[in-house]
Structure 1
Amino acid sequence: MAAVLEKVQELQKEITCSMCRSYFSEPVTIWCGHSFCRACLSQSWILGARAFFCPECRQVNPVKEFPVNNILAQLTDTGKELCFLHLQSTEGQSHCGRHQKVLKLFCEDDQTPLCVRCSQSPGHGAHKVSPVEEAAHKCRKKLQHIQSHLGKHLEEAEELLNQRKRPAVDWYWMIEGEYNKLHHFLKKAERQCLEKIMEDKRASQDRLSQHRQALLDLMLALQEADHQPNLDLLQDVKQLLVRTESMLPQRINVDVPELREYPIPGMIEMLRQFRVDITMDPTVDNPFVTVSEDLKSVKAADVWQVETEHPDDTVHHYVFAEQAFSSGRHYWEVDVAQLPQWTLGIHTLHLRRRWGWYVDSSVSVFLLCCVKNEEDYYLKTYPGSLNHRVRSPVPRVGVYLEYSSGTLAFYNVLQQSIIYRFYLIQFTVPVTPIFSPGPPLPGSKAGPMTLCPMDSPLCACCNAYL
């Protein structure tokens, strides 16, 4: 019996498709000698492909169309009959373990084979019982019906997969093209900006050279006048004095450079992805500043009176943020449109020397200050080298902190241009933002310094973000 079973298994293997694991249906034999169902083979080959591979051995087949192997089809039909007869003979030899009778019946309620005596027992009296051959026939029809539905779903899945492989819109290619275009635009904008910086640098050097030459010419004229006879000196002195009076005031403009604005397209939009929701510390113990109830703004109190007209001699009063940062990237914006003078920055401790940039470990603040002197506004940094005049007040300042690289940068949000950047700061402890709404100018009443909301839009009326 074991030898017969082994032969039946070998026959089943020969007439079974290796793809669907079922008996062959319209079998075809391809170039390499392997056989498959025609439908299975068609589904395995991608439409429009130049090469067709055997699903089993992966050899390339030079043609795609193959006729049905009629001999294999007949062998499959014969093999199915033999396997069925063997199954029946096997079933005929199966006996009930309790009554030692042949299992000829099948209980559809309990899904168990029965002998005649088992079917007459009280446990199966009300159950639906049918002959094993009839139950098996129904079961095969049901499985074939399910297989038919699965075949349709498989065809749909294959079609969808092919569509995904060949999408109507190639989004990868399209998005890659947009980013390449963006990179091109940015490189062009960078090149134009750097050229503008070099032009401004050359123009500034030319102005300084011309100013220096004018001073040398005036000095030479004064020296020559000193050696002139008295009458000639008195005749030429008026012209020399006029030249001197027109030349000396130019020294102010030469000594204090003007802060240039070089917009960087998209920079503010990129930084805004790192925006953080900051609030001011309400426990500030300082009578010179007042924090609002929503902890979003601070203003100079009435007791903060500045008598001196020299901004560098005044005292600053600060408010700390409730948040501190010890990692990551962070960005916040501050509305300073109602303040003629203000200070923004960060506070930290225990700084060390790094690459020779910051040599004083006692430095614990990094600040950007706006100072008004007569009718002019100046932006200064501490520490740092920025001391520049600005054409008009900056209404909104963006602050970007990158802890790991030790970077702190300030931006003119309206112009989308950088004001100043500290770098290579070696942070070792948390960093806290600080704010100062002053010092107020003598005899003036300044407004608040306000932290901008996370989702603040552009406002056309004030030409800044709200």
Structure 2
Amino acid sequence: MEVKDLQEELTCSICLDYFRDPVSIECGHNFCRSCLHRSRVPGSGPFPCPECRHPSAPTALRPNWALARLTEKTQRRRQGPVPPGLCGRHWEPLRLFCEDDQRPVCLVCRESQEHQTHAMAPIDEAVESYRKGNLDIHMDEWKRRPVRLLWYHFNQEEKLLQSQCNLGDKMKTLLELQEIEAKIATRWKDKIKSQRMRISTEFSKLHNFLVEEEDLFIQRLSKEEEETKTKLNENRLKLNQTISSLKKLIVEVGEKRQAPTLELLQNPKDVLTRSEIQDVNYSLEAPKVKTVCQIPLMKEMLKRFQVAVNLAEDTAHPKLVFSQEGRYVKNVASASSWPAFSAAWNFVAGWRNPQKTAHVEKFQHLPCVLGKNVFTSGKHYWEIERRDGLDVAVGVCREDVMGITDHSKMSPDVGIWAIYWSVAGCWPLTGFPGSPIQPEPTAHRVGVYLDRGTGNVSFYSAVDGVHLHTFSCSSVSRLRPFFWLSPLASLVIPPVTDGK
């Protein structure tokens, strides 16, 4: 009872709800400020108290802070879950059923302005009406309750029955859809399983095929090794026989020269003739490896990492011209004028001291240019096509190589990892002369594959995927594409094609 009494003390007698901004008037009664403004007649004169009718001046309204704090604390205690059967607004028992709002309400709600004009019924009668139906209602109930309410109940029951049938049909449809969805998911899982097995089987075949191809290449290389060894042994035997014969002839000539006069004059022509016809001509021929490293599907695999490379014109030598949006470059200097032009440019540019190359921003001595790309990680592949058959060099380099003055110094020692490309073939620029590793005309297009993860840059024939050479450049953090062109030489970087 104490809690109920406290609630009554904290309830506005106008709105029958907790005080909101409570104010006190001259007679001592308290009301919500908004409720008091709505209940009194507009004007500046005194107004009667809604409870005791005692007149009070509008200027006598005083905020009741203590009552406001007490109301706030009481409401805060009731912010938890509302017990079953109680009104969530007033925490009073739900004893009535509002026919207009179709929901249970308490006695305090009935007296509020929200429900003053609504039709109410005891909640037990409302429940019984819904359960039994409206045809069994007694005559006295027809008198006690409006006919409109009874027909409303009847319609509501019909609607609920129809709604129940509709929900049953919907449930049946959803269950059928659920069954179909389950079958679809099962078939999809079977397809995924089948596709996984197919992929595994096909890649297993590919692995076996690659193993067989590897064995075939190893057999070819072994056969070539045996044939080359046999030929080298034959050449060595022939050379040893020639040396042995020549040694015997030298000994014989020496003995003949030291023989007595009579013996010296006996048939010296035979020794002299054999000395003259002794053949010492022997052509040395360095054996070459004819079995190339050509892995099936290598071209397709490399194109998965193809990137667009464009030439950085701001790094280029003055004699290089560009077109095709930075993918084509040509050295317009002729072979006869290049030495003179290079010397004059060196003099004008002041590059007499080759040590001062740290802050060079473009090539001023060699006909070179860098790519715009800067590679710090990942895998990258691009191709270069030579158009006129003249000598070029392609690869990767550090960013601080633009002060180099001698093309013979282009090598990993100065930060350039490239291959030299001429009519004789391709060979790596290592700082010393080398023999071609791929003859023409096969390598009219070369591919460069840079793997920053392994720190390697590899070169391939872009036509048949034959491996040309591999450098290790793992110690460099930033690498850029590198291009060198001999006089009148030109090259083009083909556009990227979808290799996936």
5+ long unaligned stretches in structure 1: 1-92, 107-114, 122-126, 309-314, 352-359, 458-466
1:289 to 293, 297, 320: 320
**Native 8 Å contact 1:325 1:431 kept in 2:** yes
Q: Which moved more, 1:220-229 or 1:128-137?
A: 128-137
Counterpart CA distance in 1 for 2:165 and 2:476 is 76
CA 1:293 to 1:284, structure 2 compared with 1: closer, same or farther past 3 Å?
farther
State the partner residue of 2:447.
398
Asked if 1:221 corresponds to 2:245, the answer is yes
Asked if 1:232 corresponds to 2:242, the answer is no
1:202 to 204, 220, 226: 226
Counterpart CA distance in 1 for 2:289 and 2:189 is 58
5+ long unaligned stretches in structure 2: 1-94, 99-104, 111-119, 131-141, 254-267, 340-364, 402-410
Counterpart CA distance in 2 for 1:380 and 1:95 is 97
Counterpart CA distance in 1 for 2:337 and 2:225 is 38
2:457 to 396, 402, 408: 408
**Native 8 Å contact 2:391 2:421 kept in 1:** yes
Amino acid of the structure 2 residue aligned with 1:154? Q
Amino acid of the structure 1 residue aligned with 2:494? C
Amino acid of the structure 2 residue aligned with 1:331? Y
Aligned residues: 322
State the partner residue of 1:432.
480
1:404-447: CA deviation from partner (whole Å, max 9, x where unpaired):
21111011122321011113x32343100101122x4xxxx54x
Query: SS where residue 95 of structure 1 aligns?
Result: strand
Counterpart CA distance in 1 for 2:162 and 2:307 is 68
State the partner residue of 2:394.
344
Counterpart CA distance in 2 for 1:134 and 1:385 is 102
Percent of residue pairs bearing the same amino acid type = 19
Query: SS where residue 223 of structure 1 aligns?
Result: helix
State the partner residue of 1:453.
495
**Native 8 Å contact 1:297 1:450 kept in 2:** yes
Amino acid of the structure 2 residue aligned with 1:318? C
Alignment map for 1:308-327 (pairs within 5 Å): 317-327=367-377
**Native 8 Å contact 1:350 1:429 kept in 2:** no
**Native 8 Å contact 2:373 2:480 kept in 1:** yes
State the partner residue of 2:205.
181
CA 1:118 to 1:135, structure 2 compared with 1: closer, same or farther past 3 Å?
farther
**Native 8 Å contact 2:316 2:370 kept in 1:** no
Deviation, 1:189, is 0.4
1:272 to 303, 307, 311: 303
**Native 8 Å contact 1:339 1:437 kept in 2:** no
**Native 8 Å contact 1:257 1:388 kept in 2:** no
2:415 to 346, 360, 364: 364
Deviation, 1:118, is 9.3
CA 1:211 to 1:292, structure 2 compared with 1: closer, same or farther past 3 Å?
farther
State the partner residue of 1:329.
379
State the partner residue of 1:417.
466
Counterpart CA distance in 1 for 2:435 and 2:147 is 104
Deviation, 1:215, is 2.1
Q: Which moved more, 1:377-386 or 1:425-434?
A: 377-386
Alignment map for 1:15-414 (pairs within 5 Å): 95-96=97-98, 97=105, 98=110, 99-101=120-122, 102-103=125-126, 130-167=154-191, 170-229=194-253, 230-241=268-279, 244-245=280-281, 247=282, 250-251=283-284, 253-254=285-286, 257=288, 260-305=291-336, 317-336=367-386, 338-348=388-398, 363-371=414-422, 376-377=424-425, 379-382=427-430, 387-388=435-436, 390-393=438-441, 394-414=443-463
**Native 8 Å contact 2:426 2:439 kept in 1:** no
**Native 8 Å contact 1:350 1:362 kept in 2:** no
CA 1:316 to 1:217, structure 2 compared with 1: closer, same or farther past 3 Å?
farther
Q: CA RMSD in A?
A: 3.7
**Native 8 Å contact 1:258 1:390 kept in 2:** no
CA 1:343 to 1:302, structure 2 compared with 1: closer, same or farther past 3 Å?
same
**Native 8 Å contact 2:292 2:466 kept in 1:** yes
Counterpart CA distance in 2 for 1:221 and 1:306 is 55
Counterpart CA distance in 1 for 2:297 and 2:203 is 13
Counterpart CA distance in 1 for 2:208 and 2:185 is 35
Query: SS where residue 145 of structure 1 aligns?
Result: helix
Deviation, 1:281, is 1.1
Counterpart CA distance in 1 for 2:317 and 2:469 is 29
Query: SS where residue 324 of structure 1 aligns?
Result: coil
State the partner residue of 1:312.
none
Counterpart CA distance in 1 for 2:453 and 2:209 is 30
Query: SS where residue 496 of structure 2 aligns?
Result: coil
Amino acid of the structure 2 residue aligned with 1:403? R
Query: SS where residue 482 of structure 2 aligns?
Result: strand
